[in-house]
Amino acid sequence: MKYISTLTCILIVFVIGACENYLGADTNKDPNRIFEDDIGLDALLPPILVSTSEAHFDVAFTFSQYAQQISYVGDTDSHEESELTGAWVEIYLNSLNNLDVMEKKAQQAEASHYLGIVKVMQAYNLSLATNTWENIPWDDAFKEGEFSPSYNTQEEIYNAVDQLLDEGITELEKAFSEFQEPGSDDIIYGGDISKWIKTAYALKARTAIHVTSKGEVSAADEALAALANAYTNNGDDFQVSYNTDKNLNPWHTSAYLAAQTGNPAPDHADQFIDMMNGQTYPETDPRLSIIAENGGASEYYGSESGNFGVNNDAPDNSANTVFSDETFYSRAGAPIIMMTYAEMKFIEAEAEFLKANSGNALATGASQQAYDAYLEGIRANMDKLGVATAAKDAYMNAGSVDVGAGNLTMELIMKEKFKALFLNPEVYNDYRRYDFNNQIFKGLALPADHNDELNGEWIQRAVYPSSELSRNSEEVKKAQKDIGTPMWFYN
């Protein structure tokens, strides 16, 4: 994390670089500044990884409210529109912009493994952006002199993501060179190229499962083919770690520290808590006390979405679950978790389920492969969160969890994925893919004080930032759709 401060310097590069092009050569070149030509691949990589994790957090903060994992004072969890300006800046200015520079440098240096990482990170950021806004700039986004880039369709972006991942895998599979290899600057994998290859395949599996509504069995087959080369254990997880010094986890600052200083802070939503406290399902999930703090009360009561702080099932009608400095996701040094081995197992379970049932998500029963993947997804997440072995075994042996392959349902798969992917915007992709079906997502209902403009329908997207509208209004106006309009990838 010592590299994070490099980000500020890198952003200065482009401003100073533009001045140099205008004035010529080394005119007025400040010896105290860092210029683009002076930035090495090892200095570019760390801030890109951090800015990507920050973008992931920014999207998760809003989409976790839409998905009813967290509740927050204000209107967002009532499905009011959100621009997600911070995520746009992190993706385009701090990630893709610097990745464009890094790509050119890696090509020039013939640094194949750096170039492969660039391709994977471009794909990840594009995937995050398109699933937030749908149509986004890409083909023209970083062309020199292009100040009003056209927007690619989501279908084009999905194709671009797949192509970038294929290209990235090709570069990552090349032999190690004596020079220009990532090491400690790779703050995710420490230069372990095999894990970057797994991450490329993991993202291919995720994007493939997104389009099952456009061809259930074929998309499921594509996901399974990618999974064969993706993560094999929790040690492969794609995440950026923070620390307890000055580089604090953003959930720690926005959820825990904000609450301590009297500022607005999110709490756990009742939809999420009720899935774990025995309310929606008969079993109590041992992960609950690891994820949420309730001040030592005998019961856990989440906050009603759209009615922050209220829980009408509680004795005093008040929610009592909060993020603390010890709960797993809001610790100061907790990682921002973007993709995991557990997620891959749930993708496998879903894909095998769809194959076994000819694409019918409401069927009952599936193959043993689907069932084994479902159980392994639960086990992997419990291990990651540090659930004690006895508690883990007791939960997994419960009759409503250990149902056998013949009684497996998509509801059970998505129930466990919903919990394992807490604070991950991928959960909202699942909701949208299955059209918010409460036969798959048990207990799911629209929030209180729901946005009247949606006419009883679920919100589907963010709106483009006003800053983008002012800079590129013609293209934004062509791309913007009503917030209740489904996206291409699941429509």
User: Distance between CA atoms of 71 and 61, rounded to whole angstroms?
Assistant: 10
- What integer is the mean pLDDT of 145-154? 93
Measured distance CA(480)–CA(440) in Å, rounded: 30
| For residues 64-68, average pLDDT | 98
The Cα–Cα gap between 350 and 373 comes to: 9
* Residue 424 in this model has a pLDDT that exceeds 60: yes
Cα–Cα distance measured from residue 126 to residue 47, given in angstroms and rounded to the nearest whole number:
17
Q: How confident is the model at residue 35 (pLDDT cuts 50, 70, 90)?
A: low
Asked if pLDDT for residue 20 goes beyond 50, the answer is no
Q: Give me the pLDDT at residue 207, please.
A: 97
Q: How far apart are CA 332 and CA 310, in angstroms?
A: 27
pLDDT at 80: 97
The CA dihedral of 258, 262, 265, 271, to the nearest 10 degrees, is 140
Tell me how many degrees the CA angle 50-54-57 measures, rounded to the nearest 5.
Answer: 140
Neighbours of 245 (CB within 10 A): 9
Structure tokens given for 59: 């999207």
- Write the pLDDT tens digit of every residue in 289-346: 999 999 999 999 999 999 999 999 999 999 999 999 999 999 999 999 999 999 999 9
Mean predicted confidence (pLDDT) in 231-253:
95
Contact 267, 308 (CB under 8 A): yes
Mean pLDDT of 17-24: 37
Q: What is the pLDDT of residues 369-412, one digit of tens each?
A: 999 999 999 999 999 999 999 999 999 999 999 999 999 999 99
Closest CA to 408 of 344, 360, 353, 355: 353
**For residue 29, what are the contacts with CB-CB under 8 A and spacing of at least 6?**
20, 35
List the one residue out of 465, 442, 392 whose CA is nearest residue 90.
465
81-98 average pLDDT score: 97
Reply yes or no on whether the pLDDT at 431 is more than 60.
yes
Residue 23 has pLDDT above 70, yes or no: no
pLDDT of residue 486 exceeding 90: yes
Q: Which of 363, 292, 233, 96 is nearest to 284 (CA)?
A: 292
Give residue 41's identity as a one-letter amino acid code.
Answer: L
**Which H or E run includes 356?**
helix 341-356
Q: pLDDT, tens digit, for every residue of 175-198?
A: 998 889 999 999 999 999 999 999
Tell me the mean pLDDT in the region 33-57.
89
pLDDT of residue 6: 42
Per this entry, what is the length of the chain? Answer: 491
At a CB cut-off of 8 Å and minimum separation 6, what does 138 contact?
A: 126, 152, 156, 157, 160
First to last CA, the chain: 40
Nearest residue to 323 via CA among 262, 280, 274, 260: 260
Q: How far apart are CA 70 and CA 269, in angstroms?
A: 4
| pLDDT score of 179 | 83
Cα–Cα distance for residue pair 89/104, rounded to 1 Å: 21
For residue 348, CA distances in Å to 128, 233, 244, 489 come to 21, 14, 35, 19
pLDDT at position 147 is: 87
What does the DSSP assignment read for 63-87?
HHHHTTSEE-SSSGGGT-----HHH
At 181, is the secondary structure helix, strand, or coil? coil
Q: Which two structure tokens, joined as six digits, stand for 282?
A: 């008969």
Asked if the model's pLDDT at residue 46 lies above 50, the reply is yes
For residue 15, pLDDT over 80 is answered with no
pLDDT for res 10:
44
| Percent with pLDDT over 70 in the chain | 92
Please list, in sequence order, all residues whose beta carbon lies within 8 angstroms of the beta carbon of residue 406, skipping any fewer than 6 positions away.
Answer: 364, 365
Per DSSP, the three-state class of 23 is helix
Rounded CA-CA distance 227/42 in Å is 30
Mean pLDDT of 246-256: 95
In this prediction, residue 216 carries a pLDDT of 63
